[in-house]
Structure 1
Amino acid sequence: MISTVLNVAIDCEDAYGLASFWSAVTGRPIHPESEPGDEETLVEMAEGPTLYFNQVPEAKTVKNRIHLCLRPDTSREREVERLLGLGATFVADHRRPDGSGWAILADPEGNEFCVLRGEDDAPVH
């Protein structure tokens, strides 16, 4: 027996608003039946689990224990700039001079996520 990961649940203050940010990040649409003010909103990925945004009364107060890692279809630096333009904030820099590593950003509600080396970033041998 096994279990399949159906979705990644993200607690938030504004389910539709945060889903809109992640929809722009991933290029995937918000579920067509979702609308502003909904307490639950989905962004369905082309592959893998759905991003499920669940409105909760409490605000985020500590570092995430689980987070998303993104691999951009461009360079990591271009993607970091794009995400900052969408409303993300820069949290920490773990990029190394050899091109490896990652950048940690946070979405508009403070949930941390990583941006890994992108498809346009050549691996160093």
Structure 2
Amino acid sequence: MQFSFAHNNFNVRDLDRSLSFYKEALGLTESSRINAPDGSFIIVYLTDGVTPHLLELTWLRDWDKPYNLGDNEFHLAFRVDDFDAAHAKHKEMDCICFENPAMGIYFISDPDGYWLEVIPAK
């Protein structure tokens, strides 16, 4: 028996804002979508177009407050081929929330406060 990663899920309050952020910040695009027949939720799967791993964004119609991310010690990490250009883009977007120059990494925060690690390709 062997398991493989399929996707990670983040719940989001404003689906359009999140889709726009992930497209601009990380180049992720929609690969599929599930709309609840009663309109109570929408699930959108995002792809990087390279790996089979997906990011699932879930919007819940009746959720009316920010999500409690606790200590937010979890995150997704993205490798980037041009670290300096990515850093400049994210600085311009004003979404960098933490930098660790000694480790050569930084984190960006999405519209709901989820942290995304950016690491250079090695």
* Normalised TM-score (structure 2): 0.72
* Normalised TM-score (structure 1): 0.70
Does 1:60 find its partner at 2:102?
Answer: no
- Number of residues paired by the alignment? 113
In percent, how many aligned pairs have the same letter? 15
Q: Where does structure 2 lack aligned partners over 5 or more consecutive residues?
A: none
User: Residues of 1 paired with 2:99 and 2:81: CA distance?
Assistant: 20
- Structure 1 residue ranges (4+ consecutive) displaced by more than 4 angstroms after TM superposition: 32-35
Cα distance change on mapping 1:30 and 1:2 into 2, 3 Å? same
Q: Aligned runs of 1:18-97 on 2, under 5 Å? A: 18-31=18-31, 39-46=42-49, 47-56=51-60, 57=63, 58-61=65-68, 62-74=70-82, 76-86=83-93, 89-96=95-102
User: RMSD between aligned alpha carbons?
Assistant: 2.8
Q: Aligned runs of 1:4-19 on 2, under 5 Å? A: 4-19=4-19
User: Residues of 1 paired with 2:46 and 2:100: CA distance?
Assistant: 28
Task: In structure 1, give the amino acid aligned to 2:100.
Answer: H
Q: Where does structure 1 lack aligned partners over 5 or more consecutive residues?
A: 120-125
